[in-house]
Amino acid sequence: MIKLEQVTKKYGATVAVNGLSLEVNEGEVCVLIGPSGCGKTTTLRMINRLIEPTSGRILVNGKDTSQVKPEQLRRSIGYAIQSVGLFPHLTVATNIATVPELLHWDKTRIARRVEELLTLVGLSPAEYAGKYPSQLSGGEAQRIGVARALAADPPILLMDEPFGAVDPLTRERLQAQFVAIQQELKKTVILVTHDLDEAIRLADRIAIMAAGKLVQYDTPETTLSRPASKFVHDFVGSDRALKRLSRISVESFIKSAPTVTINASIKQAEAAIGSRRSAWVVDDKGQLLGWIDRTDLSQVSSISEGMVTLESKDIALWQNATLREALSRMLGQGFKSIPVVDEDTKLIGEVTLGDVEAATAEAEE
């Protein structure tokens, strides 16, 4: 889909990008990462010809980009940047409509598309379409920026630290949303970041750059388990094992957990716990309420009396969480097992510390 062949960019005597070759397949997320000044942003901007390479070729869909008019090329490639660059004098709707308007779509089609995109990025069209950029929070602005980049449904998306300028909590939410949107849209994405965790979380393949050169181009798993050089080894850091956990979903580690309903008798509860130390307590709809200890059972007359109440949202994991989140939850709460719930906060099982350890060891191989 996108192919860079021996691309070099020189500024006077300094070489920003040095003989870079890179291929990104259709529907793949390629993350360009490296220390600042490594040429990752320059590389990104050469793809839509905001910067012209000094030598080498860039092919999009097999076509040499230097043969396409820059404006035409850019209208077929979505572009989202860290500082967002929303047009402050235009409404959110007009901002999103930028490329469709450049392509002369008719009004009703544009209006429909704007509504679709706002819904896609999780903002209510009725509330946000008429707002001005100055009225948006950082996270909202970034989402509008992504919506604007997606407006004309380009097959390719270039993103330069699209989640850079927001607080960590918002960033995590935006990343999760990006993963969900990408699963649906299957765009070919090239994303620049300096945040390794972001790269590991989002990338199908990570391109690590240093001093204008590509030093490793692999899946996150391979990059973490088999760094190609000392530089990559140092770059990914000593917590590689921990980082790898954020590539693994808890879904395949969920086991059925001992469960009792709140109305059950003490006897039934004892049977459910068996030889284990505790059981999760749910209501009659299956939603998680808390947990109860085996040793407490003999001293109380009902489950609700002996139960320790839990705030489901503070402790339980969603089924699409990663093992890293599971581990951090376990360490934070001092639990050896963490309940997993579905969208309706219904208990579906648990993940244990033993499973996380096993997964770490396995990935270490």
Q: Which stretch, 108-116, 144-152, 224-232, 249-257, contacts other proteins (CB under 8 A)?
A: 144-152
187 interacts with other proteins by CB under 8 A: no
- Closest Cα partner for 30 from 72, 57, 2, 5? 2
Nearest to 143 by CA among 97, 99, 92, 188: 92
Q: Which of 9, 148, 171, 329 binds other proteins (CB under 8 A)?
A: 148
Site for other proteins in 281-340 (CB under 8 A): none
As a whole number of Å, the CA-based R_g of the chain is 25
Nearer to other proteins, 118 or 210 (CB): 118
Is 179 near other proteins (CB under 8 A)? no
Instruction: For residue 22, list its beta bridge partners.
Output: 4
Span of 89-97, 226-234, 313-321, 355-363 interacting with other proteins by CB under 8 A: 89-97
Backbone angles phi, psi at 252, to 5 degrees: -80, 0
Query: According to the binding rule CB under 8 A, does residue 149 interact with other proteins?
Result: yes
Name which position in 3, 5, 50, 57 contacts other proteins (CB under 8 A): 50
User: Amino acid identity of 152?
Assistant: A
Residue 89 touching other proteins (CB under 8 A): yes
Looking at the Cβ atoms of 149 and 347, the one nearer to other proteins is: 149
Question: Which residues make beta-bridge pairs with 35?
Answer: none
Contact between residue 205 and residue 192 where contact means Cβ atoms under 8 Å apart: no
CA distances from 69 to 49, 56, 65, 345 (A): 9, 18, 8, 52
- The distance of closest approach from Cβ of residue 141 to other proteins in the complex, given in angstroms and rounded to an integer, is 11
The gap between the terminal CA atoms of the chain, to the nearest Å, is 33
Binding to other proteins by residue 85, rule CB under 8 A?
yes
Q: Is position 84 an interface residue for other proteins (rule: CB under 8 A)? A: yes
**Which is closer to other proteins, CB of 98 or CB of 312?**
98
Q: Establish if 146 lies at the interface with other proteins (CB under 8 A).
A: no
Are 32 and 190 in contact, with CB atoms under 8 Å apart?
yes
Tell me if residue 349 falls in helix, strand or coil.
strand
Q: What's phi and psi for 332, nearest 5 deg?
A: -65, -40
Does 72 sit near other proteins (CB under 8 A)? yes
| Contact string (CB under 8 A) for other proteins, positions 102-141, x = contact | x-----------------------------xxxx------
Contact between 12 and other proteins per CB under 8 A: no
Which of 25, 61, 87, 331 touches other proteins (CB under 8 A)?
87
Query: Which part of the chain contacts other proteins (CB under 8 A), choosing from 68-76, 209-217, 292-300, 307-315?
Result: 68-76
Size of the site for other proteins (CB under 8 A): 31
- Find the binder of other proteins among 20, 30, 43, 79 (CB under 8 A): 79
SS3 assignment, position 37: coil
Instruction: Closer to other proteins by CB, 102 or 181: give it.
Output: 102
Between 51 and 185, whose beta carbon lies closer to other proteins? Answer: 51
Residue 9 contacts other proteins per CB under 8 A = no
Residues recorded for the chain: 365
90 lies in the binding site for other proteins (CB under 8 A): yes
Residue with tokens 């049977």, as numbered in its chain: 271
Helix residue ranges, H only, the chain: 40-47, 70-75, 92-96, 98-102, 107-120, 125-128, 138-149, 168-185, 196-202, 220-225, 230-236, 240-245, 266-273, 294-297, 303-306, 312-315, 323-333, 353-364
Query: Which of 13, 22, 23 lies closest to 54, judged by CA?
Result: 13
On whether the CB atoms of residues 240 and 248 are closer than 8 A, the answer is no
Q: Does 43 contact other proteins by CB under 8 A? A: no
Binding other proteins (rule: CB under 8 A), the pick from 2, 30, 38, 81 is 81
Chain residues binding other proteins by CB under 8 A are: 48, 50, 70-76, 79, 81, 83-91, 98-99, 102, 132-135, 145, 148-149, 158
